[in-house]
Structures are given as C-alpha cells and as structure tokens.
Amino acid sequence: MNKLTIRDVDVAGKRVLVRADFNVPLSGTNGVITDDSRIQATLPTIKYLTERGARVILCSHLGRPKGKVVEKLRLTTIAQRLSQILGQKVIVANDGIGPEVDKAVAALKPGDVLLLENIRFHPQEEANDTGFAQTLARLADIYVNDAFGACHRSHASIVGIARYLPAVAGLLVEKEIEVLEGLLANPSRPFAELAGGAKVSDKIKALENTMDKVDCLLIGGGMAATFLKAKGYEVGLSLVENDKLDLATKLMQRAAERKLPLILPVDVVAAAELSAETEYNVVAVEKIPPQWRIVDIGPKTIDSFSEELRRCQTIFWNGPMGVCEIAQFARGTQAMAKLLAGLEATTIIGGGSTAEVVTELKLADKMTFVSTGGGASIRFLSGEKLPGVEALLNREG
C-alpha cells in the first residue's frame, strides 16, 4: 500500500480523530450487539494510539438514520462493549459536533478515548458537506481512517475531513488493502472465486475485473438465476436481472474463450415462497417449477463446488449461496463455510453477510482473512479506487 499509516506520524499528545466502522448488527428492542467483529477489528489501531499517549476521538456511523436522530441507533451500546474489550472507560459524547463535544475533546488526557455520537445523525455527513468536514477537522490534529467498510463512500468523515488534516491509514485499513492487493497481484494457484448474493449488478464489475486473474469461477446464490436464464433455463419466480442477461451471456462466452471453468448450479432448492413455513424441494435446474423460486444451491451443486474448491490454493468468497436467513435455505452457504474452514488454502472472505455467516458459525478464525467491508472489498476487486483510501497521504517514493 502506497499510503502513509499511523506508524509514519508522531501521535504523542496529539488529538487523533479515528474514523472507525462500528456498524455492527443489533437485535431486539434493547439493541443487543450480535457480532462485535468490527469493534474488535479496530482495537489494534486504538491500542497503538493510546499506548503512545494520543488523545483518541472515535467517529462512526450505525445503521441508516438518514440525517436524523434515531434513539435505537445511538452509540451508547458500542461504547459499553468497546470499554469492556479495550479494558478502559470510553467517554461518550452526546453529539458528533457542537459545544459539548468541543468541551469533551478539550478535557481529554493522553491515552483517553472519546466516542462521538452516530455521525449519520447529521445530514451533512452523507452529503460530504465542506463546512461539516471542517468542523470535524477542528476537533483534531491528525485524521486516521480505519473504517475500511465505509471507504467506498464519499462522506464528510471519510473524504471531506482529509482535506483539512494530515490523513493516514489505520492498521485495519492497511491490512485490508494489503490482503486484497496481494489477492489480485500474486495469489497462490489455482485461484478460485466463489460468488453469491442476490444480484449480478452488485458484483458484475468485480467479476469482469477478476475473470482474467482467477483459474475458476463458481456462481451460486440469487445471482445464479440470471446466469441460468441467460443459458436458456426457466427459473420460475427467481429474482432475475433481465437487463443483465446480455452481460451474463458475454461473461460466459469470455470464460469459454479463456477456457476458464465457470461453474453454475446443476441443482437447486426451490420454494413456493420466501418463508420458513413454505413448501420446498431439491430440483434439477432444468425442472424448476414455474411458480417457485431458487432459494439455495442443491446437494449435487454443493458436491461439484466442493470438488473444484478442494483443488485450489487461494479462494475468495463473497455472497451467500441462498436465502441464509431462513434455516432450511442456509445449507449451501453453511456447507461452503465449513469446507473453506477445513482447507489448507488461503481463504479470504469478502465481508458483508458472508462475514456474518462465518462469524456466526464460529469459523472466522479458521479463515485466512475475513474482510470487514463487503461493498468496499467488491469495489476494490472491481479495479475501482476507494475514495476513502485515495484521500489519504501518499508514501513518498
């Protein structure tokens, strides 16, 4: 990575504003944190700074409050969990900016940690408002971006603030970029990409960009329906992006020209409805009932995917194989997770719901790397620049 990091700047006694990504999943009316992976992932950066006497100001979003105060999206619960795992009290501000925040920052001592309120409570954040970015910048001497999961957003606390402070990468952003750069530049071969999720449009650029770099491409999840329809199969009421059928056809033709194995499901789990109570069955892809929809890959597909993946030395996986929120339709996704966890290969999980699955199955520590950013990792693999990374200072030479 050609960007400066926190190791390249003197932070002792400085006010350091760290943009973190504490956008963790919550459940219940009390907002219980169900997966604190993103909080844990930022600990190395926070500890590095506190151990060197920095006055740490943390900034994050949670959910999509759309520029308004939403009580259940306050960061109080995040501060409590962070205090527990950090082993020190995290001070909580009542806002992202304003006189009370200024007072709290002024009172910080070396090694203290302050967490600002949900930055998306302010509509100026997502609008990348210049004045808002300047106000945030006045809180600190140095800006650190450690929110890889938000690096594809051109928001005030991601991009705007970097115009007014020395801006460097945190240890998490550094690690994420190094892993993904290595994946594209020098993977151990054979190198497989396992792609799933609902839509082709979310991943089409990544598929186009990685197609010349991988040795096999396996496509499951909802996006497989678009490829199957492009091949002439009837897919019932499955979600199909009709405007992407030509693109799917071109990708398959390109794979054939390259002699690249592009492996689609041969059987699927099809269901009458998207509910736990619905009727469902395993069917061959040629026999999907007209009023049913694809909700998972079938057992023969699990076997064919597994056979291909076992021979690979590097695997990048992004996107579930089915509607994994419903237990009956999560078997394909769980099978892939368990398979990858048992391989000797380099296994990289591309964030988002895929990361949540491997964490829920307690398999994250069995993977080589689990990214904290689904959208950001896909954008990076698409060959596109990440605004949040581009805004940081370059390393000279």
Q: Which of 41, 10, 352, 355 is nearest to 171 (CA)?
A: 41
Q: Where would I find the beta strands (DSSP E) of the chain?
A: 15-19, 26-27, 32-33, 55-59, 91-92, 113-115, 142-145, 167-169, 191-195, 216-219, 262-263, 267-271, 280-284, 293-297, 314-318, 346-349, 369-370
Which amino acid appears at position 41 of this protein? A
Please tell me the distance from the alpha carbon of residue 8 to that of residue 1, in angstroms, as a whole number.
Answer: 13
User: β-strands 280-284, 267-271: how paired?
Assistant: antiparallel
Under DSSP, is residue 379 helix (H, G, I), strand (E, B) or coil?
Answer: helix
Q: Which residues are catalytic?
A: 38, 199, 352, 375
Phi, psi of 306 (to 5 degrees): -65, -40
Minimal CA–CA distance to 267: which of 239, 298, 236, 296? Answer: 298
For 231, the 3-state DSSP assignment is coil
Q: Which residue has the tokens 């892993």?
A: 179
**SS3 (DSSP) at 312:** coil
Q: What is the DSSP string of 128-168?
A: T-HHHHHHHHTT-SEEEE--GGGTT---TTTTGGGGTS-EE
CA distances from 214 to 22, 72, 268 (A): 32, 43, 25
Question: What whole-number distance in Å separates Cα of residue 207 and Cα of residue 258?
Answer: 14
CA dist 262 and 194 (Å) reads 10
